[in-house]
């Protein structure tokens, strides 16, 4: 559990060989003052790789914010017409890169009083979701404002989806390597999402598979992989996603 919590700090993690029975996967060896230690740090993304990914994020998000302006205006008008009492945008605190908190931005898809009893995940046929909001969710249009999060640097176009604070605290206790997800910036879309692990996770195994896919993405990141994920996300959104509610 301690190792899991230390992963997103990006520091070297070394343990005594007497704890070898808790180690799985690849490990390297070193020593401090002659004392043999095992390095179980998760491989971090290099500064050059991170810079390359950030440059791509800036270009893509800037283009999206400019080219999609008419779409933003149309959606904003639709929200005010269909649900005039609430705001157009919805902001919620999420856990991001290196466990830092940030405000994620979406188009509002629920009634203004939807979270009177606190934040809660949506479910199929959730009565809190407006009819227009259901349409936005089906085609992932509610997530378009997150390009501003990307441009600001809170998020990346592609990466593990950011979770609410309460869910992060819950799942880090239950799933090994859960906190590895925070070694990179969260994304608008990700490898787990195009593999079908999107939406509610009613059973623990569903979140475990999502985390497995997120860790796989971090270990195999490349610009070509990001491009593949973006293309798949667009095609899935056009057809309408089954788990989008």
Is residue 58 within 8 Å of 151, Cβ to Cβ?
yes
The whole-angstrom distance between residue 191's C-alpha and the CA centroid of its chain comes to 10
For residues 13 and 40, give the distance between their C-alpha atoms in angstroms, rounded to a whole number. Answer: 6
pLDDT at 21: 47
DSSP 81-147: HHSTTS-SEEEEEEE-GGG-EEEEEEE--B-TTTTTT------TT-TTB-HHHHHHHHTTGGGTTHH
Look up residue 161 and give its DSSP letter: P
pLDDT above 60 for 198: yes
What does pLDDT average to over the chain? Answer: 86
| Backbone CA torsion sign across 121, 125, 129, 131 | positive
pLDDT tens digits, one per residue of 126-183: 889 999 999 999 899 999 999 999 999 999 999 999 999 999 999 988 998 898 899 8
Between the CA of residue 202 and those of 19, 28, 49, 198, 208, what are the distances in Å?
Answer: 34, 37, 35, 11, 11
pLDDT at 216: 92
pLDDT tens digits, one per residue of 13-62: 777 766 554 554 555 556 666 677 766 666 666 778 889 999 999 999 99
Helical H runs in the chain? 2-6, 47-67, 69-82, 131-138, 146-152, 165-174, 191-194, 204-219, 223-239
């Amino acid at each position: 559990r301690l190792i899991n919590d230390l992963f997103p700090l990006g520091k070297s993690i070394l343990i005594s060989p007497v704890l070898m029975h808790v180690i799985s996967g690849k490990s390297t060896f070193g020593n401090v003052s002659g004392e043999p230690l095992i390095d179980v740090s998760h491989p971090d993304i290099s500064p050059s790789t991170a810079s390359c990914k950030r440059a791509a994020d800036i270009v893509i998000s800037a283009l999206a914010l400019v080219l999609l302006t008419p779409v933003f205006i149309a959606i904003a008008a639709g929200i005010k017409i269909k649900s005039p009492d609430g705001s157009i945008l919805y902001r919620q605190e999420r856990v991001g890169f290196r466990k830092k908190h940030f405000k994620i931005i979406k188009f509002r898809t629920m009634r203004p009083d939807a979270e009177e009893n606190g934040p809660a995940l949506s479910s199929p046929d959730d009565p809190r979701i407006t009819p227009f909001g259901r349409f936005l969710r089906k085609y992932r249009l509610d997530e378009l404002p997150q390009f501003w999060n990307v441009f600001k640097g809170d998020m990346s176009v592609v990466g593990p989806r950011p979770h609410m604070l309460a869910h992060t605290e819950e799942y880090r206790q239950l799933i090994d390597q859960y906190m590895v997800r925070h070694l990179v910036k969260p994304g608008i879309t990700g490898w787990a999402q195009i593999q079908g692990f999107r939406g509610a996770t009613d059973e623990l195994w569903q979140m475990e598979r999502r985390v497995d896919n997120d860790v796989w993405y971090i270990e195999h990141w490349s610009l070509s992989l990001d491009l593949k994920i973006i293309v798949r996300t667009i095609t899935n959104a056009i057809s309408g996603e089954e788990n989008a509610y």
